[in-house]
Amino acid sequence: MNTIVDGVLGSLRTGAGDAMRNMQADDRQGYIMALDAGTTSVRAILFDEYGMKVAQAQRSLTMVYPNPGWVEQDPVEILSRQIACMIEVQFKTGIHSDRIRAVGITNQRETVVVWDRRTGQPIYNAIVWQCRRTAPIVDALVADGYADLIRERTGLIPDAYFSGSKIKWILDNVEGAREMADAGELMCGTIDTWLIYNLTHGQVHATDYTNASRTMLFDIHKLRWDDELCGILGVPRSMLPEVRPSAGDFGRVSSDVMTHHPPIAGVAGDQQASLFGHCCFEPGNVKNTYGTGCFLLMNTGEEAKLSQNGLITTIGIAEGGHIEYALEGSVFQAGSTIQWLRDELGIIKTSAETCDIARSIPDNGGCYLVPAFTGLGAPWWKPDARGLVCGITRDTDRAHLVRAACESMAYQTYDILRAMEADAGRPIKELAVDGGASKNDFIMQFQADLLDLEVVRSEIDETTALGAAYLAGLATGVWEDRAELASMRRSAARYSPSMDAPERERLLAGWREAVRRAIA
Ligand code: ADP
């Protein structure tokens, strides 16, 4: 192998730590490119055949806020920056498309693009998942009595978050769009579909089951677009992409972008890709991503469990000829609470220092912070609740507030996981974690103590991109089966519970009382 390339690879390789294994990895020929089309940035990441990250290129995305609560992005910017990353990562490593065996895509979910079938040009900006403009559309659906139908067929709780109402908005508000849609002249899709369509030069208009399950238009039991829901939301079936398994054939990257046009062979929404990247292959396996908010997904196997606790039922994994469902719950305020300490209260300088500050005191001193800044989500569902700090005494200082903020991520996660266990009817064995705040050893140890479970952080930071790479690699025979993927899994840290039961109960009782007050 070219020594310059070796040198580049050596300096770019991250997280390996095992020199012997790296040398072997350099000798291997094949790589997988994962495209991680996130909300704030797009990336192209190269993984070797050991599932190790070799290099990445990243570009940030511009957010457009045309009105309060509205969030958009330019679909052409998403595409062109994604392609720029694909090209940059090849040139900076010397690993070109002749050695890239497959491409996987993972994406911000629910965000939609509508484009002209004839020209391929978007007729409006992408409406981003966070955008609240379609809340009145969803309120009207609920008022018309469709909530149960939506829930039964799609597993979702009707919300502006999901794609269907966003497509309807574009058709209703862009001049001429409705007529074009009715005439079959428009196409639509989530960001995976938009990328696939353009990377294949318009040859493939497809999505995968996980992304389809976030639209409020897809029957997750019958595994097809639901004509009745499409009718209710006024979305013609002719606009919608074909739905395919997450590991499979999504065409080839056109030679305009990659000379040797590798196959696009893995596609999944970001949270589902993360579930797969963590090798959560068994029913009861759970992952939590600790970012700005927390996203929890539990594999529930081949049974779609409807939640009694306000969790969402979604398609978790569509690989290997069958569908595995998942329960999903999210914590609205997680890392954002740490940002609040830094930006609004000014009592910390960096997120990372919260770990040492929290550890500088022996316990929370009875102080709890319920970060219900925008209400409380699952399993409480109290949109009118507001944040509070309670249990303050004359001894309470900055460390108590910081500790209470850190602990609040673990308490909220605890509440969702217990709800998931109840809904799934099976206990959780361990918790796989990723995301920025999962680097905080204090929070992870406290989480393990609260749950009385092992918490495991994976060696690869980019579990989401890794999941997309795994799917693409399975579809193209780079890896034989899931057992091979599981054998490559390496954890960076493992936190074992060490709190006794009475202490755990005492802390949880304090948290429940704080939540009760926040709701009251
Ligand atoms: P996202 O993908 O949602 O932007 P990241 O996974 O990059 O989020 O995580 C960033 C969030 O995690 C921020 O809200 C930040 O405050 C928080 N965070 C990052 N590092 C730490 C840490 N060491 N301890 C606590 N919180 C952290």
pLDDT tens, 184-194?
Answer: 999 999 999 99
Q: Please report the pLDDT score of residue 148 as a whole number.
A: 94
Average pLDDT, rounded, for the chain: 91
Average pLDDT of the residues in 90-118: 95
Question: 294 pairs with which residues across the strands?
Answer: 290, 331
Q: How many other C-beta atoms lie within 10 A of the C-beta of residue 283?
A: 18
Q: Mutation test of ligand 1: which of 338, 441, 463 has the most ligand atoms closer than 8 Å to its C-beta?
A: 338
pLDDT value for 22: 43
**pLDDT for 276-328, tens place per residue?**
999 999 999 999 999 888 999 999 999 898 898 889 999 998 888 889 999 99
- pLDDT score for 23: 38
Q: What pLDDT sits at residue 321?
A: 85
User: Which architecture characterizes domain 279-520 according to CATH?
Assistant: 2-Layer Sandwich (3.30)
10 Å Cβ neighbour count for 61? 20
**Which band of pLDDT confidence, cut at 50, 70 and 90, is reported for residue 339?**
very high
294 C-beta closer than 6 A to ligand 1? no
pLDDT at 185: 97
| 162 CB-near residues (< 8 Å, 6+ apart) | 110, 154, 156, 214, 215, 216
3 state DSSP class of 165: helix
Q: Cα(226)–Cα(113) distance, rounded to whole angstroms?
A: 20
Nearest to 265 by CA among 520, 484, 485, 475: 475
Residue 403 has pLDDT above 90, yes or no: yes
Contact (Cβ atoms closer than 8 angstroms) between residue 324 and residue 301: yes
Residue 104 Cα, ligand 1 centroid: separation in angstroms?
25
Report pLDDT digits (tens) over 411-460. 999 999 999 999 999 899 899 999 889 999 999 999 999 999 999 998 88
> Residue 12: pLDDT above 70?
no
Tokens of 189: 């899709």
Mean pLDDT of 477-505: 93
CATH topology of domain 2-20+30-268: Nucleotidyltransferase; domain 5 (3.30.420)
Centroid of ligand 1 to alpha carbon of 463 (angstroms): 15
What percent of the chain has pLDDT above 90? 80
pTM over 0.75: yes
Q: How many CB atoms lie within 10 A of CB 394?
A: 5
pLDDT at residue 77, as a whole number: 97
| Residue minimizing CA distance to atom 18 of ligand 1 | 437
As a whole number, mean pLDDT of residues 107-117 equals 96
307 lines ligand 1 (CB under 6 A): no
pLDDT at 18: 38
Residue range(s) in the chain whose domain bears CATH number 3.30.420.40 = 2-20+30-268, 279-520
352 lines ligand 1 (CB under 6 A): yes
